[in-house]
Amino acid sequence: MADFPRLAATAAAIRQGKVSPIEVTRHCLDRVARLDGRLRAFITVDADRALGAARRLEEEAGRGQWRGALHGVPVAFKDLCVIRGLPTSCGTRTADYFTAEQECTAASRLLAAGAVCLGKLNMTELAMGALGDNPHHGHARNPWAVEHCTGGSSSGSGVAVAAGLALGAIGTDTGGSIRLPAAACGITGLKPTYGRVSRAGAMALSWSNDHLGPMARAAHDCALMLQVMAGPDPLDATASARPPDDYVAALDGPVRGLRVGVPRNFFFQGLDVEMEAAVRQAVATLATLGARVEEIHLPDPQVLNDITGLVSRSESTALHGGLLRERPHELGAFTRARLELGLSVPAHDYLQALRLRARLARTFTREVWSEVDVLAVPVIPEPAPPLRAALEGPLEEIVARQGRFSRLTRPFNGLGLPALSLPCGFSTGGLPLAFQLVGRPFDEATVLRLGHAYQRATDWHTREPDLA
């Protein structure tokens, strides 16, 4: 097998009898055993159960029994997803920090569709942090340059897919935590619309900003995963009752005539030179595919950033304040500082932020989506920086640094919009560059279709890190 097989292609190959679930699962587990001591993508590897599941799936395939679209495909889950029989540390020192009566709905749906669970993936502590560091389980390492940050908080998810340790992964995104590691690690990651994928059975960080979504090598892979994960869920009151689209069938639809908005304000300010050039070249490629590229002025994204940050701080402290009060010595310095900030937010400010967020969402709909169909903007302002340097200095500087690294993703959490991170080049230092396509609420189909068309016209998503 190839060292970096694609999820959708592997699912098709298993159906065609070209490769077996056992073969694919062993391939991934062998790579985990060989590489993860250096990369630290996993917190828990569930090798025995994974092989047992692969054997059952292979037997079923031999009888012509297929569980679903992911039959025999090995995936892994961020360690805030509850999986029966596995601990859920949420990146903390406590192995079973988070418990729930129900298994994570999104993960359960992937497993019911035939996916093989390889284990639980590394993450920043309590999903707080944009860089991918973890003081308890070790810092996840970027496969393209191990001394550089992976992006967070779904750091292990980004690393596992980029290094070929898993064919797909679940990530979560409260301020960019799917898109940041996807961008830093050179893979594809989708933050769906708020409510499109159930949050049941996954630790919450900020209940009104959290999104679960797929991370894989290509838009086609993410569409296949989303097709399985999406939909109403009686276990999650915030899950939308709206039926999901057929994301896979829509991939090959036309993109000619789609209006792609490129903001004049905020998103291209203070960018690394190579990042800006790569993103603008990606936009030019979309134009060659028939998209109509138009400049547009957005309602001030910095206001959205400020509101989203305030709401996240308040809700995360409400959820995890017990750990802060009872066992503060178990927390890393950055996580403790973030939780302490939430204690100082007055209820009045939190409620006003919620009101203003709703008003800004209406303004965005009126002023933006009447003019364009999709936005194209950078994901991160610079290639992944050296991790050691990013974690140096006073705590206030580290907090500010993390905020700057995620400033281009947070606005779309506050708005709850679907956003797809796509590789679009490499820096002269060999680090991935990326842009994101952002769509209307519940219009993942258009975002994925345009992303798929871009990836058919380019090969950035097929590049592989040298891990010899």
- Over residues 6-32, the pLDDT tens digits come to 999 999 999 999 999 999 999 999 999
Grade residue 1 by pLDDT with cuts at 50, 70 and 90: confident
CB 32 within 8 A of CB 50: no
> Which is nearest to 445 in space by CA: 258, 290, 167?
258
> Which is nearest to 414 in space by CA: 366, 346, 364?
364
Q: What is the pLDDT at residue 340?
A: 95
Amino acid in position 99 = T
CB 406 within 8 A of CB 329: no
- Over residues 54-76, the pLDDT tens digits come to 999 999 999 999 999 999 999 99
On the question of pLDDT at 37 being above 80, the answer is yes
Grade residue 2 by pLDDT with cuts at 50, 70 and 90: confident
> Which is nearest to 217 in space by CA: 445, 380, 2?
2
Q: Which residues are catalytic?
A: 78, 153, 177
- Over residues 303-326, the pLDDT tens digits come to 999 999 999 999 999 999 999 999
Looking at the chain, the whole-number percentage of residues with pLDDT higher than 90 is: 98
CA atoms within 13 A on the CB side of 456: 14
* Vertex 246 angle, CA 171 and 223, to 5°: 30
Burial of residue 250, with CB atoms counted within 10 A of its CB: 0-12 exposed, 13-18 middle, 19 or more buried = middle
Grade residue 128 by pLDDT with cuts at 50, 70 and 90: very high
Domains annotated on the chain, with CATH: 7-462 (3.90.1300.10)
Token pair listed for 449 = 């279709």
> Which is nearest to 195 in space by CA: 241, 234, 235?
241
Q: What is the pLDDT at residue 468?
A: 74
CA dist 56 and 53 (Å) reads 5
On the question of pLDDT at 41 being above 80, the answer is yes
Q: Which residues of 175-212 are buried (b: 16+ CB within 10 A; e: fewer)?
A: bbbbbbbbbbbbbbbbbbbbbbbbbbbbbbbbebbbbb
* Vertex 12 angle, CA 7 and 162, to 5°: 15
- Over residues 423-459, the pLDDT tens digits come to 999 999 999 999 999 999 999 999 999 999 999 999 9
> Which is nearest to 230 in space by CA: 198, 194, 188, 189?
198
- Over residues 214-269, the pLDDT tens digits come to 999 999 999 999 999 999 999 999 999 999 999 999 999 999 999 999 999 999 99
- Over residues 274-283, the pLDDT tens digits come to 999 999 999 9
- Over residues 171-217, the pLDDT tens digits come to 999 999 999 999 999 999 999 999 999 999 999 999 999 999 999 99
Grade residue 5 by pLDDT with cuts at 50, 70 and 90: confident
CA 303 vs CA 261, 266, 403: distances in Å: 20, 11, 14
Amino acid in position 278 = A
Mean pLDDT of the chain: 97
